[in-house]
Structure 1
Amino acid sequence: MIDIKLVRDEPDRVRASQTARGEDPGVVDAILAADEKRRSSLSEFESLRAEQKVVSRSVGAAMGAFQKAKKAGAADADHLEKAAHHARAQAGELSEQVKSLEADAAQAGAELATLLRRAGNVIIDGVPGGGEDDFVVLETVGQARDFAAEGFEPLDHLALGERLGAIDMERGAKVGGARFYYLTGVGALLELALLNMAMAQATANGFTPMITPTLARSDIMHGAGFMDAHAEEVYRLEADDLYLTGTSEVALAGYHADEIIDLSAGPERYVAWSACYRREAGSHGKDTRGIIRVHQFHKVEMFSYCRPEDAEAEHERMLDWERQMLAKIEVPYRIIDTAAGDLGGPAARKFDCEAWVPTQGRYRELTSTSNCTTYQARRLNTRERDPNGSGTRTVATLNGTLGTTRWLVAILENHQQADGSVVVPAALRPFLGLDVLTPLT
């Protein structure tokens, strides 16, 4: 969630971010009003609690004076007894008032937290405004093949996959329903080779490899920002109140929840291999053929914890690692700066890498990297010792994908030959053990 101090100090910046996202800027005024209510309630509570402490001490003193006078048979014992009872009654009334004010302050705090969760992360300067189609192309790499000049019409990845004995959608649908599939034979080996290559690259660059849980508790899902605008995309196991994760980003974001981590030597970087699950709600009729949009897939995900002032530089490093992976599979691609209205709630900026898909005649997203600044870590209470020595502060988190099942689409289509075979990119060959994938006879 966004920093309440940022909302207080720069409300116009937060309003502009909300507007760029296509979201309600009025939430900023609601946040400020809720913040003022919370602070006022806390002030009243603390003032009355201080008075309660004074009165409580006076009760002890009054009871002591009465007991002493009673024991001595003093003439003013009755008077002292009445004073002690009056002090005790006053203390009781104050106690009830303090409890009521404490409840009011807690409720005001909860209202503020709810409103803060409604606001998306504040976008970084330079992020394009607008929606899904308003991205800015930053870079285009490689040239699409001219299949007509080569004398044949390219097959799509499913037709190729079926001829290679690599993809079986029919049996996938028989077992799991629509948007499920089997990777078989060289298809399974190709995915394993791709993801192993991704893991090898990441570990060579200092990432700690991880195999993560694919079920997460509600608080971790909310903390990572996956239960806000896109809750309908998530599978829930109601009997256990657990959620199937759509990316290992969730588990990695929760790894250091409620911890103080040491970033004095630089970012803490993890790379995880996991199965991922998405309901694809609202995608009826979109990408129904093949494995572009499915309910279950595998993914290798980078995740970094770093100091807030280092986050933008770390974002560029993540993007460069993605470039290296795309170069290894030898496909034409472009990098886009995603528009604010197409960002998820946690992201302050996101770069997408889109590969050319010949049979669709367009670029399709293969990977992305997001700078979530302090948004996730604030929700999950992940901090570091402030380098300036003033307690702790929230860290920044970033994520980026190094390989998914969808990459097989780009590999198969861009490297196909006229005879239906597929040339394996050179960097993949040591991981796959094959130079060419040949059709089944």
Structure 2
Amino acid sequence: MIDLQLLRDDPDKFRASQRARGEDDSLVDSILRADKARRTTLSEYESLRAEQKSFGKRVAQASGDEKKDLVAAAKGMSEKVKTLQSDADDAQDALDRLLFKLPNLVAVGVPSGGEENFAVVKTVGEPRDFDAEGFTPRDHLDIGTELHAIDTERGVKVSGARFHYLLGVGARLELALLTMALDQAIANGFVPMITPTLVKPEVMAGTGFLGEHSDEVYRLEADDLFLTGTSEVALAGYHSGEIVDLDSGPLRYAGWSSCYRREAGSYGKDTKGIIRVHQFQKVEMFSYVHAADAAAEHERMLAWQEQMLAKCELPYRVIDTAAGDLGSSAARKYDCEAWVPSQHTYRELTSTSNCTTFQARRLGIRERTEHGTEPVATLNGTMANTRWLVALLENHQQADGSVKVPAALQPYLGGMSVLEPTA
């Protein structure tokens, strides 16, 4: 939820943000009208309520016929007060519904447009020249199948399309990667967490995942719970309704969890392998910081992601995601995309989002300041997930079918330096 006072003071800024996202900017005017109606109705209610209290004193002091007449008048006033209170509540509900539709204010400098309108911040590392090495790179599924590391056929048999098994060195590789990611998070002040993967509707809505992309979310209707597509949701809900203490610095958590996404609308896209699946594992960074420190924390999160990519010895680029691809909660989002040799392109491995105070306002997360209680800022960022196996297998594959293990990852695999195909 945005700061309503900021919208009142500078509605043009919010209209421009909506246009940059490709959204309807008339929503801003609808909110302003609803806000004016709410304030008018509330003022009428509060004025009559004050008059009612004063009138009550007159009734208490009156006697005889005068008191009888005043009691009758007080009864009529009470009914009117109840009606105005109901009108004020309805006006507040109408305003809240509109506010929940308005996405976060886009940060200055974010590119306008949709998914294809990102800006490349930098490119790091050079893709391997497989032609010079004398062989054509295979895709991760072919490599993983030969290593007996990935089994999609049995995943489909058991659970349906876009499910898979990781086995043998595949399972070990994922656990090694995520453990290395968790260790890096801990080294940078994050508290490790195993989070719930089922959350209540108010937590899912509070983080902004029940808006226009709600069809991506799995829902258990019998229990009115949602399966999370990232531990960001549970980590954001952890301090919901609380006043947190940031005097000693940010509150940082690293959530390890299974994640679930319906991948609605992705029919025919990435159907082979484990690039786009319904269930995967992820280590997610999440920070609560002073609102003024959010941009700096965002840069730190990006740097930690780049350190992980360097440890995995992957060529990658960083992009500044366009406004229309931010999602409702983010004011700015950076993606790190690794080179995928079989596709001759970069594919997203990490995202990090600065959600400013948007989620905290919805979830009631505040801190005490000299001006009273104020909402904090929240940020999130991927440290590693299952999709990283795609880049690891493809970028480190060898002509004989083996895969070299990056030096930083070897201690997490018991010193294993090469993954060898099995007979």
TM-score by length of 1: 0.95
Q: For 1:405, give the aligned amino acid.
A: T
Partner deviation per Cα, 1:207-265 (whole Å, 9 max, x = no partner): 01111000000000000000001100000000000000000000011111000001111
Determine whether 1:250 maps to 2:233: yes
Give distance in 2, aligned partners of 1:266 and 1:282: 41
Give distance in 1, aligned partners of 2:117 and 2:225: 36
Decide which of 57, 77, 84 is 1:94's aligned counterpart: 77
Decide which of 411, 416, 429 is 2:410's aligned counterpart: 429
Shift of 1:182: 0.1
Q: Secondary structure at the match of 2:170?
A: helix
Decide which of 389, 392, 395 is 1:408's aligned counterpart: 389
- Alignment of structure 1 residues 334-353 onto 2, 5 Å: 334-353=317-336
Partner deviation per Cα, 1:357-376 (whole Å, 9 max, x = no partner): 00000000000100000000
State the partner residue of 1:373: 356
Partner deviation per Cα, 1:310-344 (whole Å, 9 max, x = no partner): 00001000000001000010010000000111110
Determine whether 1:212 maps to 2:201: no
Q: Secondary structure at the match of 2:284?
A: strand
Shift of 1:118: 1.2
Give distance in 1, aligned partners of 2:23 and 2:361: 21
List, as ranges, runs of 4+ consecutive aligned residues in structure 1 with deviation greater than 6 Å.
none
- Alignment of structure 1 residues 199-238 onto 2, 5 Å: 199-238=182-221
Determine whether 1:41 maps to 2:53: no
State the partner residue of 1:184: 167
TM-score by length of 2: 0.99
- Alignment of structure 1 residues 151-300 onto 2, 5 Å: 151-300=134-283
Q: For 1:430, give the aligned amino acid.
A: P
| C-alpha contact (below 8 Å) 1:356/1:362 kept by paired residues | yes
Shift of 1:90: 1.4
Aligned length: 422
State the partner residue of 2:19: 19
State the partner residue of 1:70: none
Determine whether 1:398 maps to 2:354: no
Decide which of 356, 362, 371 is 2:339's aligned counterpart: 356
Decide which of 88, 94, 98 is 1:105's aligned counterpart: 88
Rg comparison, structure with higher value:
1
Q: For 1:276, give the aligned amino acid.
A: C
Q: Secondary structure at the match of 1:124?
A: coil
| C-alpha contact (below 8 Å) 1:416/1:423 kept by paired residues | yes
Give distance in 1, aligned partners of 2:209 and 2:25: 21
Question: Which residues of structure 1 form unaligned runs of 5+?
Answer: 67-79
| C-alpha contact (below 8 Å) 1:136/1:337 kept by paired residues | yes
Give distance in 2, aligned partners of 1:204 and 1:195: 14
| C-alpha contact (below 8 Å) 1:55/1:90 kept by paired residues | no
Shift of 1:7: 0.7
Give distance in 1, aligned partners of 2:69 and 2:245: 55
Give distance in 2, aligned partners of 1:246 and 1:56: 56
Shift of 1:392: 0.4
Give distance in 1, aligned partners of 2:220 and 2:417: 43
Q: Secondary structure at the match of 1:133?
A: helix
Shift of 1:301: 0.2
Give distance in 2, aligned partners of 1:83 and 1:302: 70
Q: Secondary structure at the match of 1:302?
A: strand
Shift of 1:390: 1.8
Shift of 1:3: 1.0
Q: For 1:36, give the aligned amino acid.
A: K
Give distance in 2, aligned partners of 1:100 and 1:240: 36
Q: For 1:222, give the aligned amino acid.
A: A
Partner deviation per Cα, 1:127-178 (whole Å, 9 max, x = no partner): 0111111111001000000111101111100000000000000000011000
Q: For 2:132, give the aligned amino acid.
A: A
Question: Which residues of structure 2 form unaligned runs of 5+?
Answer: none
Q: For 2:283, give the aligned amino acid.
A: V
State the partner residue of 2:422: 440
Q: For 1:108, give the aligned amino acid.
A: A
Q: Secondary structure at the match of 2:72?
A: helix
| C-alpha contact (below 8 Å) 1:128/1:339 kept by paired residues | yes
Q: Secondary structure at the match of 1:240?
A: coil
